Amino acid sequence: MIELKELSKVFDTGKGSLKAVDDVSLSISSGEIFGIIGYSGAGKSTLIRLLNGLEKPTSGSVTISGQNISASKGQDLRKARQKVSMIFQHFNLLWSRTVKENIEFPLEIAGVPKSKRNARVLELVELVGLAGRENAYPSQLSGGQKQRVGIARALANDPEVLLCDEATSALDPQTTDSILELLVDINKRLGLTIVLITHEMHVIRKICHRVAVMEGGRVVELGDVLTVFQAPQQEITKRFVAQVTDTEDSNETIKHLRELYPTGELVKLIFVGDQTEQPILTKLIRKYPVDINIVHGNISHTQRGAYGTLIIQIKGTQPEIAQALAFLNEESIQTEVMA
């Protein structure tokens, strides 16, 4: 569906050249929700602009549905862009137009007859949950409603790809979740391929099938979201995963417990998928003469299944603790003794 090959983008600045995207190669399947995460300056915004032809690569190529976007010009590029829509962090609505008029704007530009425009707008208003608000102006809408208008407008020309540029960054957590749920619903109903960029791992966890982690213009880690949560390889990825799996309170608790209980081991357990529903600790306590103290626990749900972390203190003799850890490993529970 989307193929990036050795993609690079260099900007000339007054102080020299800046490589914003550095030799990126990856494939995105049709119907996939693909996340690109990175901190400011990682190159993710430039990458998404390369996807819709707003930027031309210095080298490499962008191919969408068999068409080389990076080499297209004029009418061919305009046609290609109709199949690649985009929603933005700050909505970019026309404030002098109603909800209905904002949604039908791209259809006007495309020369769609008024009768067909009206039918399409009503369909999209229903799809994004704005029935009854067709005649409202942006100033009369909440942030979440404005983003729903932006999504409906982006879907007007029946695109194959929807690009989301920090689409929930300006929203509160509850509204963010409702917009993410809408994107998942649209993905399932329409089979739409969605590519989103963000600096929030919560967004990736909530809706993405796969994720690319960017740093310094390069993709430093790429994989299924559940796999990345289970075993992040790069330090930057570990920091992102910690956004939704660790808390300062747990770190303080661990420090406090180390002071109170100098014996035993503090162990972090990682559960994936069906493991999160199994009584592993009950089995452990029944089988071995160890004491278990639960310090901190958290379960996150991804599109591919659940991911849970549990920090426990195991008290007993060293042989007993070793047997307990061996049992957990036999049960395919990933363990990490916390130093």
Domain with CATH 3.30.70.260 in the chain: 246-337
Q: What is the pLDDT of residue 246?
A: 64
Categorize the per-residue pLDDT at 257 as very low, low, confident or very high, splitting at 50, 70 and 90. low
Residue 145 has pLDDT above 90, yes or no: yes
Question: Over the stretch 28-74, which tens digit does the pLDDT of each residue have?
Answer: 999 999 999 999 889 999 999 999 888 899 999 999 988 888 888 88
**Long-range contact set of residues 286-289: C-beta below 8 Å, sequence gap at least 24:** 287/327, 288/316, 288/320, 288/323, 288/324, 288/327, 289/316, 289/320
Amino acid at 221: E
What is the C-alpha separation between 38 and 194, in angstroms, rounded? 17
Residue 134 has pLDDT above 60, yes or no: yes
Nearest of 82, 83, 58 to residue 70 by alpha carbon:
58
Categorize the per-residue pLDDT at 230 as very low, low, confident or very high, splitting at 50, 70 and 90. confident
What is the C-alpha separation between 69 and 72, in angstroms, rounded? 5
Which residues does 140 contact at the CB level (< 8 Å), separation at least 6? none
Amino acid at 231: A
Residue 86 has pLDDT above 70, yes or no: yes
> 40: buried, middle or exposed (CB in 10 Å: 19+, 13-18, 0-12)?
exposed
Residue 83 has pLDDT above 60, yes or no: yes
Q: What is the pTM of this model?
A: 0.84
Domain with CATH 3.40.50.300 in the chain: 2-243
Residue 249 has pLDDT above 70, yes or no: no
Q: What is the pLDDT of residue 254?
A: 66
Q: Which CATH number fits domain 2-243: 1.25.40.10, 3.30.1360.20, 3.40.50.300, 3.40.50.2000?
A: 3.40.50.300
Residue 244 has pLDDT above 90, yes or no: no
Q: What is the pLDDT of residue 268?
A: 86
Question: Over the stretch 282-300, which tens digit does the pLDDT of each residue have?
Answer: 999 999 999 998 887 878 7
Residue 82 has pLDDT above 90, yes or no: no
What is the C-alpha separation between 135 and 133, in angstroms, rounded? 6
Residue 250 has pLDDT above 70, yes or no: no
Domain range 246-337, CATH architecture: 2-Layer Sandwich (3.30)
**DSSP state string for 176-187:** HHHHHHHHHHHH
Question: Over the stretch 299-320, which tens digit does the pLDDT of each residue have?
Answer: 877 887 888 888 888 988 889 9
Place of tokens 């029946």: 158
Residue 260 has pLDDT above 80, yes or no: no
The tokens of 114 are what?
Answer: 């008024």
The tokens of 229 are what?
Answer: 């949560």
Question: Over the stretch 165-204, which tens digit does the pLDDT of each residue have?
Answer: 988 888 898 999 999 999 999 999 999 999 999 999 989 9
**DSSP state string for 23-74:** EEEEEE-TT-EEEEE--TTSSHHHHHHHHTTSS--SEEEEEETTEEGGG--H
136-153 burial by CB neighbour count: b if 16+ within 10 A, else e? ebbeebebbbbbbbbbbb
Nearest of 49, 160, 166 to residue 150 by alpha carbon:
166
